[in-house]
Amino acid sequence: MPEQENAPVLSVKDWMITILLMAIPIVNIVLLFVWAFSKNENPSKSNYAKASLIWAAIGLVLYLIFVVILFGTVMSSLNT
- 54-67 pLDDT, tens per residue? 999 999 999 999 99
pLDDT tens-digit map of 22-53: 999 999 999 999 999 999 999 999 999 999 99
- In terms of pTM, does the model score above 0.85? no
41 Cβ contact partners less than 8 Å away, ≥ 6 residues apart: 34, 35, 49
